[in-house]
Amino acid sequence: MGLNLQSTDPSLLNDMFKVDRDSPNDKIIAFAGNPNVGKSTVFNSLTGLNQHTGNWAGKTVTNAQGKYKYKENTFILVDLPGTYSLSSSTAEEEVARDFICFGDADATLIITDATCLERNLNLVLQTIQTTDKVVVCVNLIDEAARKKIKIDFDVLSSLLGVPVIATNARDNKGTGELKIALHDIVNENQATNKIKIIYEEAVEEVINMIESVIKDLVSDKVDSRWLSLKIIEEDESIIKSLTKYLGCNIYENKSVVSKLNIAKKYLKEKNISNNDLRDSLISSVLHKSEEISKEVVSYENNTYNNFDRNVDKIITSRLIGIPVMILLLGIVLWLTIAGANYPSEVLAKFLFGIEGFLGDLLNSINTPLWLSGLLIMGVYRTLAWVVAVMLPPMAIFFPLFTLLEDLGYLPRVAFNLDNFFKKACAHGKQALTMCMGFGCNAVGVVGCRIIDSPRERLIAIITNNFVPCNGRFPTLIAIITIFFAGIAKGPLQSLICTLILTVVIVIGVVMTLTISKLLSRTILKGLPSSFTLELPPYRKPQIGRIIVRSILDRTIFVLGRAMAVAAPAGLIIWTMANVQINDISLLAYSAGFFDPFAKLIGLDGYILMAFILGFPANEIVFPIIIMSYMATGNLFQLNDLSQLREILVSNGWTWLTAICVMLFSLMHFPCATTCWTIRKETQSLKWTVISFLVPTVIGMTICFVFANAVRLMGLI
Amino acid sequence: MNDDIMYLNQLQIGQNARIKQLTCEGNIRRRMMELGLIPNTSVEALQKSPSGDPTAYYIRGAVIALRSEEASKIIVKIGCC
C-alpha cells in the first residue's frame, strides 16, 4: 500500500525530506512562515547564504537548506514553501505540513510579519497545534515601528506558550537572540506549555472520543489532539500522509474505525455536518488569532497604511494604471540603454585595444600562427564581444528589476494584468512568473510552481519564453541602437531606442496572452481556476545590497557562462572559418546550407546558425553573428562600436533583417538551461518538446509572414 | 434581499461591510476562510484593477485581491459595526 501510494503521488518537492544528520549534535529546523514576511532574509541572516529575496508572495518556490553552527550544535534549516495555513489546500501547504509533522525536525521556526501579525497568527496557531517545539520570530519590526505599530512580545510569548523573538533580519537585528532560542529549544527536554485552542463543546466531545485510540496508533510522533480533529474532519490528504510516512492506515484499524463511527453518529445527532465542522475549526483558530492580536498589538496611528493605499490608487488606477506600468518599464529600459552605452564603448575600446598586444605576446613566445589565430581571433574576440556588448546592459537591467521586485511592485503588475490573463483562461499569477522571465526564463519556469492548477502551470511554462530574458535584452538593445537610433540625434536617440524596445516587450506580453488563450482552447482546454493575490505592503528596498549582489552575482555569472559557452563557440566559428573545402570555408558552407530557409524568414544563414549555436546561452547569439561576418569578410579590425553597422550592412542587413532578428530573438526555442528546467519541472519529454516547438514555430511563422509581406508590398 | 445585504463583488470602493455567509464549497471555501473571510469579519473594498476586475479588499490587516467569481460567492452586510 505504502509503495503504491508513493508511486501514484509524484511530488516535485519531495527532495527536501532527505536531510542527513552527520552527528547527534546536528539539529534540523523546519523553517516556516507566510509568504512575503522576509523569510529568505531571516534565512540569510542566520546562515549567511545568499538567497534571492523579493517582495511578493511565493518568492521561495525551491527549497533551500542552509547550515550554521552555534555552540556545540550544527543547525540545518530547511526552508519550507511560504503558506498561510497547514490545511493542505495547495501542494505547498501539504509539503510544509508533512515536513512539520513527519519530517523529523527537532523544532519549527515560524517567521511572521510584525506589520500584519493577526493574519500570521493563523499559521502560528495551526503549527503549535501540530507540533511541540516551536519558536516564533516576529520579523520586520522596523517596518512596524515606522508604521507606529506596537507589539508586546512578552505577552505574546506567554499567550502562545512558546518563545517569541523580535527581529529585523535585514540589519541582523535579533539574529543572535534567535540562535539562542533555537539552541535552547532543541536542547531542553521538558514539554513546552503551549497554547491549547478550545473548540465548541460538541467538537471537544468528539475529540475526547477518539483521541486515545489515535494516540495508541501514532504514539508521540504526531500531536494526537490535532490529528484526531483532522481525522474527524475527513482530511483525505493527512490520512494519505499517515499511510505514506508512518505506514498506518486508519481505515484498517478496527478500534479507530469503531470510535470514528461513534463520533460521526454523535455529530449527526447534533446536526453538525462535515462542512460545519470544518468551518468551526477554522473559525476557532481565526478568533483566537484575533483575540491574541487585540491583546498584544496596538496602533498609535490608525492611518498607518494610508501611504500604501494612496500609491496603489495611482499605480493600479483605471485610467493610468497600465500607462504607469508601461512608463516604469520604459524608464527601466531607458536607464539600461542610456547607462550601458558608455561602459560598452569603454570596454570595447579597451578589450579590442589590447588584442594587438596579446597577439604580439603570443608571437613573442613563438606560438604557431594557427594557434594564436584560434586563441585571439576565435576565443578572445568572442569573449570580448560578450563582455563589451552583453555585460553592461545586463549589469544595469538586473538591479533595476530587482529594485522593483523589492519594492513590492510585481504583485501590482499581476493585479493590473489579471483580467487579461483571466480572459486568456490562464492563472492570474502567470503575470508574476512572466515577470520572473525577464530576469531569466529558467527561473520563471521554476517560479511556475506557485500556480496550483497543472493545466495553468503548463500554460505558464510553455509561454514563459515569450518575454526576453536578461540574456536576450542586450541583443535587442544592440540591434536597436545600431539600426534605429540613427532616426534621431542626441538625447532623443536613447528615447527612440527605449520606445522601440518597449514595443518589442509589449509584443512579447501580447504573444504570451495570445498563445495562452490558444493553448487553453486547444491542447490545454479548461477554465481559469480560482486564485487570490496578496498585495503586500511596500517596503524600503535594500538598495546597497541589491546593487552589490546583482552586479557581483550577475557579473560573475555572466563571465562564467561566457567562458563556458562563448569560448568554445568562438573556437568552433574560427575553425569553421579557416577549414576550407574546395576553396569554400566550412563556415560559409554551413551558412549556405541554412541560407535558403533563413532568407524565407527574413534572416540569413549566419544568423540562424548563431541562434542554433547560441542554444546553450542566448548571450552569445549576437557576438557569434558578428564573429561569423568578421571571419568571412576581410577580418575587420574593429576599434569602435559604430563600425558594427558597417559590418552588418555590408553583409546584407536591412531594417527588415534587423526587425526579423529581433522578432526571432523574442520568439524562438528556449535556451538549453530553460529546456532542461522545463523537463525537470514537468517531468515530461512531451511538454518539453512542446515548449521548444511552440515559440519556435510561432517565431518562424511571424518572421515569414512579416518578411514576405514587406517584400511583396515592395517596401524594401 | 435587504438593501444592505449584498454580494462582496457588489460592494462599492471605499465601502465597509461585514461578512455574513460564504456560499462556496470545498477547497475554495476553505481557502477563503483561511484568508480570514469568516462570518462577522469586516472588509473594505479598496481598489479595482484597471480593467474593473479583480478588486482589492482590506481583510484582517492584509490587502487581498479577489476576482469577481470568488467575491460573488460571499454575502456581506454593509456597515462596519
Please check the confidence at residue A576 and state whether its pLDDT lies above 70.
Answer: yes
Decide the pairing of beta strands A73-79 and A580-581. unpaired
Q: Do B47 and A116 touch (CB under 8 A)?
A: no
> CB-based burial of residue B65 (10 Å sphere; 0-12 exposed, 13-18 middle, 19+ buried)?
buried
Closest CA to A473 of A565, A412, A395, A382: A395
pLDDT for the residue A609? 93
Q: What percent of chain A has pLDDT over 90?
A: 37
DSSP A344-399: HHHHHHHHHHHHHHHHHHHHHTT--HHHHIIIIIIIIHHHHHIIIIIHHHHHHHHH
Residues in chain A with CB shorter than 8 Å from the CB of B60 are 118-119, 290
Between CA A338 and CA A325 the distance in angstroms is 20
Please check the confidence at residue A64 and state whether its pLDDT lies above 80.
Answer: no
Q: Which three cell numbers stand for residue B66?
A: 479577489
What band does A88 get if pLDDT is binned at 50, 70 and 90?
A: low
Nearest-5° Cα angle at A625, A624 to A628: 80
Nearest CB neighbour to B47, from listed A122, A316, A319: A316
Nearest-5° Cα angle at B11, B6 to B15: 120
Nearest chain B Cα distance for residue A70, angstroms: 36
Output DSSP code: residue A453.
S
Nearest chain B Cα distance for residue A670, angstroms: 32
Nearest chain B Cα distance for residue A414, angstroms: 10
Between CA A667 and CA B46 the distance in angstroms is 38
Closest CA to A293 of A151, A194, A123: A151
Is A90 or A66 the better-scoring residue by pLDDT? Answer: A66
Q: Do A530 and B28 touch (CB under 8 A)?
A: yes
Q: Is A533 left (phi over 0), alpha (psi -120 to 50) or beta?
A: beta
Q: Which residues of A339-358 are buried (b: 16+ CB within 10 A; e: fewer)?
A: bbbeebeebbeebbeebeee
For B23, residues 6+ apart whose C-beta sits below 8 A from its C-beta are B73, B74, B75
Q: In the predicted model, what is the mean pLDDT of chain A?
A: 86
Nearest CB neighbour to A418, from listed B33, B34, B49: B49
Q: Which of A25-39, A190-204, A413-427, A694-708 has the highest mean pLDDT?
A: A694-708
pLDDT for the residue A286? 92
Interface test with B, best of A419, A429, A452 (most B CBs within 10 A): A419
Asked if the C-beta of A585 comes within 8 angstroms of chain B's C-beta atoms, the answer is no
What band does A4 get if pLDDT is binned at 50, 70 and 90?
A: very low
pLDDT for the residue A58? 47
* Partner B, chain A 261-320, Cβ-Cβ below 8 Å: 275, 278-279, 282-283, 286, 290, 308-309, 312-313, 316-319
Asked if the C-beta of A112 comes within 8 angstroms of chain B's C-beta atoms, the answer is no
Q: Which three cell numbers stand for residue A186?
A: 532543541
Nearest chain B Cα distance for residue A524, angstroms: 21
The Cβ of residue A154 has, within 10 Å, a number of other Cβ atoms equal to 10
Q: Count how many domains chain B has.
A: 1
CB contacts < 8 A, A to B, total 106
Between CA A296 and CA A293 the distance in angstroms is 5
Q: Do A313 and B47 touch (CB under 8 A)?
A: yes
**Total number of residues shown for chain B:** 81
Output DSSP code: residue A640.
-
Amino acid at B50: P
Domain assignment of residue B54, given as a range: 5-78
Please check the confidence at residue A21 and state whether its pLDDT lies above 90.
Answer: no
Beta carbons of A87 and A93 less than 8 angstroms apart: yes
pLDDT in tens, A269-290: 988 888 888 888 899 999 999 9
3-class DSSP assignment, residue A491: coil
Interface test with A, best of B31, B34, B70 (most A CBs within 10 A): B34
What residues of chain B have any CB closer than 8 angstroms to a CB in chain A?
25, 27-36, 38-39, 41, 46-54, 56, 60-67, 69-70
- The mean pLDDT of A396-403, rounded to a whole number, is 85
DSSP A207-272: HHHHHHHHHHHHTTSS-HHHHHHHHHTT-HHHHHHIIIII---GGG-HHHHHHHHHHHHHHHHTT-
pLDDT in tens, B8-66: 999 999 999 999 999 988 888 888 888 889 999 999 999 999 988 899 999 988 899 99
CA A259 to chain centre: 47
pLDDT for the residue A67? 86
Q: Do B52 and A322 touch (CB under 8 A)?
A: no
B38, closest residue in chain A (CA to CA): A283
The Cβ of residue A310 has, within 10 Å, a number of other Cβ atoms equal to 10
Please check the confidence at residue A192 and state whether its pLDDT lies above 80.
Answer: no
Is A168 or A303 the better-scoring residue by pLDDT? Answer: A168
pLDDT for the residue A558? 65
Is A274 or A688 the better-scoring residue by pLDDT? Answer: A688
What band does A500 get if pLDDT is binned at 50, 70 and 90?
A: very high
Closest CA to A171 of A141, A148, A137, A135: A141
What band does A599 get if pLDDT is binned at 50, 70 and 90?
A: very high
Round the CA-based radius of gyration of chain A to a whole number and report it. 29
Please check the confidence at residue A561 and state whether its pLDDT lies above 80.
Answer: no
Please check the confidence at residue A641 and state whether its pLDDT lies above 70.
Answer: no
For B27, residues 6+ apart whose C-beta sits below 8 A from its C-beta are A89
Beta carbons of A664 and A466 less than 8 angstroms apart: no
- For A59-68, A152-161, A228-237, A498-507, which range has the lowest pLDDT when averaged over its residues? A59-68
pLDDT for the residue A499? 92
Q: Do B49 and A419 touch (CB under 8 A)?
A: yes
pLDDT for the residue A3? 27
pLDDT in tens, A419-439: 999 999 998 889 989 988 888
pLDDT for the residue A84? 85
Interface test with B, best of A56, A93, A118, A532 (most B CBs within 10 A): A532
Q: Do B67 and A119 touch (CB under 8 A)?
A: no
A533, closest residue in chain B (CA to CA): B65
pLDDT in tens, A121-133: 999 999 999 988 9
Between CA A483 and CA A497 the distance in angstroms is 10
Q: Do A87 and B34 touch (CB under 8 A)?
A: yes
- The mean pLDDT of A80-98, rounded to a whole number, is 81
Please check the confidence at residue B80 and state whether its pLDDT lies above 70.
Answer: no
pLDDT in tens, A342-388: 898 899 889 888 888 888 899 899 888 888 888 888 888 888 888 88
DSSP A508-551: HHHHHHHHHHHHHHTTT--PPPP-EEE-PPP----HHHHHHHHH
- For A46-55, A560-569, A590-599, A675-684, which range has the lowest pLDDT when averaged over its residues? A46-55
pLDDT for the residue A404? 87
pLDDT for the residue A6? 29
Nearest CB neighbour to B36, from listed A286, A428, A537: A286
Closest CA to A280 of A210, A235, A233, A236: A233
Q: Which three cell numbers stand for residue A481?
A: 541602437
CATH number of the domain within which B47 lies: 2.30.30.90
pLDDT for the residue A8? 29
Nearest chain A Cα distance for residue B58, angstroms: 10
Between CA A340 and CA A344 the distance in angstroms is 6
Please check the confidence at residue A612 and state whether its pLDDT lies above 90.
Answer: yes
Query: Which whole-number Å values give the CA distances from A541 to A412, A415, A547, A554, A568, in the listed order?
Result: 16, 21, 11, 19, 39
Nearest chain A Cα distance for residue B46, angstroms: 8
- The mean pLDDT of A326-348, rounded to a whole number, is 89
Q: Do A534 and B38 touch (CB under 8 A)?
A: no
Please check the confidence at residue A9 and state whether its pLDDT lies above 50.
Answer: no
Beta carbons of A22 and A70 less than 8 angstroms apart: no
What band does A5 get if pLDDT is binned at 50, 70 and 90?
A: very low
Q: Do B64 and A312 touch (CB under 8 A)?
A: no
SS (H, E, C) A27-58: EEEEEEECCCCCHHHHHHHHHCCCCCCCCCCC
Query: Which whole-number Å values give the CA distances from A424 to A413, A465, A513, A528, A700, in the listed order?
Result: 16, 17, 6, 8, 23
